[in-house]
A and B are shown apart, each in its own frame.
Chain A
Amino acid sequence: MRKVFIAGVSVSKVEEHWSQSVDALVTKVVADLTDVRLRKIDGIFVASALAETLQNQGNLGAIVAEDLGLSGVPALRVEAGDASGAAALYTGYQSILSGISDIVLVVGVEKMSDASPEEAMFLSSLSERYDYVGYQGVTESSIAAMMYKVYLEKYELPQEMVAQFPVIMHENAAKAPHAQYQFKTTLENVLSSPVISPPLRRLETTAPADGAAAVLLCSQDFLPTIQHDQIVEIAGCATSTDIVFPFDREDPLKVSAASRAFEEALARAGVSRNEIKVLEIHDSYSILANLILESIGYSEPGKSGLDAKNGMYSQGGKPVINTFGGLKARGHPIGATGVYQAAEIYMQLTRLAGSCQVDGAQTGAMINLAGLGSAAYAFVMRGA
């Protein structure tokens, strides 16, 4: 079977890029990708969740190809809600695996600053069923809040066991040059921030953000042309789906799509859970950090908060999560997030993570979700 590698990555700082269009963000981030202009790209996969709504722009495949001077190259846009980035990566991976492509560019982009706060609230709920959730004015954050409430009640936990995750994310983002929020915060700050939907508070969610990230994938045929220490292998990847509304599932606290995708990705990579040193998880709401870590087998149900408190998921622990701040603090430019996650694992495994570097990071993984776990993508990556 063919193997697929990451040959280079590029990320823009996550922030409100008022002066830059979607095209400009994409062009800039790809231009920063080392020697990408010298290579013969034979596939472009563009991830965006909201471009037609926010920028009145569809057909991003052909448009991005033109932006990059690559008209003629096969290009398509991939949408899977918050998981669009990982879905594009997955599509690019398949394209190389099938033998159709050899060098593929995966770009994720989102520009949320074009939305008003009410529009953003509406759009962040777009992954739920509109004819069940959205038409009632129910937001995704309010559903997350109910999962949060049920979680605290079930395991009889203080809110701190969930609300500390944003503190860990900010700790990591404080040293990350591309993060949206490069500062630390405290549990007191999190717990005194405004309530969005009880018990969920402002600092336990993400804020609208713009960003673009790019990843260059290649087959083994191109390895000789790339510096050995700048190669990361996508050792295994998998995706799964679930019943969309969490309270329609057997257990609203189990992110089964993530657990299935992660198991499958580990099996395909031949890697055990304990070998993963750095892990990117999808913490669009603090409670999702708990639920994911418990669903994919790192913490016992109800125990992820305690494990985190004991340092298991911070620098020096294993696996270290969201080493650049995750969705909470690096930021969550919806359709680009999965590509950021892949780029960050690449930086860790190639020792390019700067002051966010985790010592001895040889194997890493990422989990990117759509909505509240209705789809999940898992990638397991191995350094050279």
Chain B
Amino acid sequence: MAWRHKRFRYRLVVWRCLNCGAFHHYETSICRRCRSNRIAEELLPSRAKLVTFTAVKNPPAGFESQAPYVVGIVEFEDGTRLLAGITDCDYEELKPSMELERVVRKLTQDGESGLIIYGYKFRPPIKKH
């Protein structure tokens, strides 16, 4: 099923309602907020700000080896909020409102020889010199 969502998960393509502005992480022809059928694809920017975050210490099946891992809500410049894994940093380094950049990472694997599931995560940006 993962391939079905590849445009959202790898590129952050979302579906925006042109009537009310609601975003959808899935392709749709009905806006979930206002039921408008005026929906357009949009590419979310690659930088966002951290709104809030926590850690998963009791992981679900398939994520045991990664725990504890950080998850959070990030917000883009236009106010769109997204649920995301936060990576490449310690929990203590994270502060609300800090800037993060998007990366694509392996999320989990479907069994030992099964499909590898990738998706977006956010990390503190690599500083430019």
Contacts and interface: CB of A to CB of B under 8 A. Distances in A.
Given A132-B83, A247-B73, A137 B58 contact: no
A131 interface: yes
Interface string A236-251: 0000000101011000
Contact of A137 (B1, B33, B60, B91): B60
Interface string B61-83: 11110100101110000000101
B40 interface: no
Contacts of A121: 58-61
B2 interface: yes
A116 B61 contact: yes
A137 B62 contact: yes
Given A197-B58, A247-B51, 5 more contacts: A116-B61, A119-B60, A139-B59, A139-B60, A149-B52
Contacts, number: 96
Interface string A188-221: 0000001111111000000000000000000000
Chain B contact patch, size range: 35 or more
B25 A132 contact: yes
12 contacts: A117-B58, A118-B62, A132-B83, A136-B84, A137-B56, A137-B60, A137-B63, A141-B58, A142-B54, A146-B73, A149-B52, A197-B55
Chain A contact patch, size range: 35 or more
B61 A118 contact: yes
Interface string B25-36: 110000011000
B10 interface: no
B124 interface: no
Contact of A135 (B56, B71, B107): B107
A99 to B, nearest CB: 33
Nearest to B22: A248
Contacts of B55: 142, 197-198
